[in-house]
Amino acid sequence: MFQRHKFFINLFIVILLVAILTGCATKTGVSVKEKGGEITVAVAEDPGFDQLDAASYNGLIQAYPMIYDSLVEYGEKGKILPALATSWEISPDGKTYTFHLRQGVKFSDGTPFNADAVKFSLERWRQKPEHSSITASKALEKIEVVDSHTIKLHFNICYYPILTELTYPRPVRIMSPSAVTPAGDPNGKFVKPIGTGPWMVESYTKDQQAVLVRNPNYWGEKPKLSKIILKVIPDPQARVLALQSGEVDLAGGRMSSIPLESLPLITKDSKLQIHRTEGSTSYFLIFNYDNEFFQDVRIRQAINYAINKRSMVDNLLSGVGKPAQGLFQFTVPYVTERNNQGYPYDVNRARELLAEAGWKDTDGDGILDKNGKPFKVSLTFQNVEYPEWKPMCEAIQGDLAKVGIQVNLKMLERTAYYDELWKNRGYELIIYRTYSDSWNPHGFLAGLFHTAKGKPAVAWADPKLELLIDNVLSTMDETERQKIYDEIFNLIYEQAMCVPLYYPEEIMVVNSYVQGFEFGTTAYFPVKWEKLFVTK
């Protein structure tokens, strides 16, 4: 009798164990115990972890949010989300911000996160010449520690993007006072990156790799992976080969772009998965507004009409991304269907506008002329950061030739290209991109369509536009702010101040044994790293 009872007891235990183990399986059939492991991620440049000061612009921008947190984070369509600050209030005049800090948080070295640590970090950033392009830095007059978990920031202007600028990946992340020497000195020398983020640095070999491991003190959702290895692979095609061989497990985005021409090959590889999502960056042409060719709005409109953007996407860019409408993508705050107008492809309308402006082919050579001067312009680009710009510019050259405009292509190396754009302004046409995520639209408009420190505007100069930009930046009312942005975007469209070309997508390629992939909210937080786990 006893043996029989023992048999049923043992049988019950076996059934119970099977049920428990079955219940532990995920929907993908992967046991919870298998979650974790480590992955290798390709990066195009040295991560620079020996210089990853939270108040600097050094090293891999995507590494900052992995190691350091900010007071607030940037969400979808620019929504401001809690991070190290759980809540905040803004004074009626828009000049004082009171932040209530998350309690029980520690830095990765075990030191406490509190208002003094926030003050230390912001003092390293406040009113420093190297951060003069960030209005919140210039305007921050006083940092007041109210108590251990409350801090007030006093600004000298009313400026609506203050919270947005506090989400930047750098140079305004919160770093432990022990990360510098002497410890706690805002002017101290940076020693090593110590933050409150989900990851901390285990090792770093310059120009080869950096290793991140879980921060045991992290306050948020704990990463499933135990380790992330950032492997430096500068050549894009070499990154593709590394993915195919299994040398790396993940590549893509701004940290290690994948050539569009490689996507068909990757698609055929069953070991790899391609993930795509809308971005927040646009490619566009800038007119040199001092050039005599572009003074007439009809010329600028004609060039907009003459470029076949759909063909460019379908035939040159592997169908990835979308032809641009207005200057900004719809993922950018304040951009709507109503205010994001664009010029359709219409060669006949382009020819009509050019003729109205007095340009005709009087000698039958296929090139328009006026007062004896042929319509010949140069188009400047670089091929290092954005290899797709070369075929795009070649397509533009062909499209404009169809309406009688001769375009001579001018390819520069990276440094010379940026000197031409920002310093020399020697170009006639130049291809460029908008900023991404939290810099759009306010930072981009103020940086390229507005004079600064006596220097001329970069993209286009228009007194009415500058006044609208000034007004929108100081408008705290959301409804009124939207109205002003509507005016700004419509004015850029009506005056054809630029030529929007292309809305790129963000692309990530991941090995199939890496599970849990989700895109992050920004190009500098490209992946929700905490969700990833491996099944091999």
pLDDT score for 269: 97
Question: Residue 385 maps to which CATH number?
Answer: 3.10.105.10
Rounded-to-integer distance, Cα 434 and Cα 283, Å: 7
233 & 295 share domain: no
Whether 328 and 446 map to the same domain: the answer is yes
Query: Is 341 in the same domain as 355?
Result: yes
Residues 137 and 207 placed together within one structural domain of the fold? no
In this structure, what CATH number is given to the domain that contains residue 266? 3.40.190.10
Total of domains in the chain: 3
Last-in-domain residue among 134, 158, 190: 190
Q: Assess whether 258 and 349 both reside in one domain.
A: no
| 117 domain residue, yes or no | yes
In a domain, 346, yes or no: yes
pLDDT at 35: 65
Residues 341 and 253 in one domain: no
Q: Which residues of the chain have pLDDT under 70?
A: 1-35
How far from 279 is each of 335, 466, 492, 522, CA to CA, in Å?
A: 14, 27, 21, 8
Q: What pLDDT is attached to residue 368?
A: 98
The CA–CA distances, whole Å, from 278 to 69, 241, 304, 307, 435 equal: 25, 25, 23, 23, 14
- Say whether both 352 and 307 belong to one domain: yes
Range of the domain at 257: 199-279+506-534
Q: What is the DSSP string of 71-91?
A: SEEE-GGG-EEESSEEEEEE-
Say if 475 falls within a structural domain. yes
Both 204 and 138 in one domain: the answer is no
State the sign of the Cα–Cα–Cα–Cα dihedral 523, 328, 297, 370: positive
pLDDT at residue 32, rounded to an integer: 38
360 & 484 share domain: yes
The H or E element containing residue 351 is helix 347-356
327 lies in some domain: yes
33 belongs to a structural domain:
no
Same domain membership, residue 161 and residue 93: yes
In this prediction, residue 10 carries a pLDDT of 52
- How confident is the model at residue 98, as a pLDDT? 99
Assigned domain for 361 exists: yes
Q: Is residue 38 part of a domain?
A: no
Q: Is 37 part of a structural domain of the chain?
A: no
Q: Are residues 316 and 424 in the same domain?
A: yes
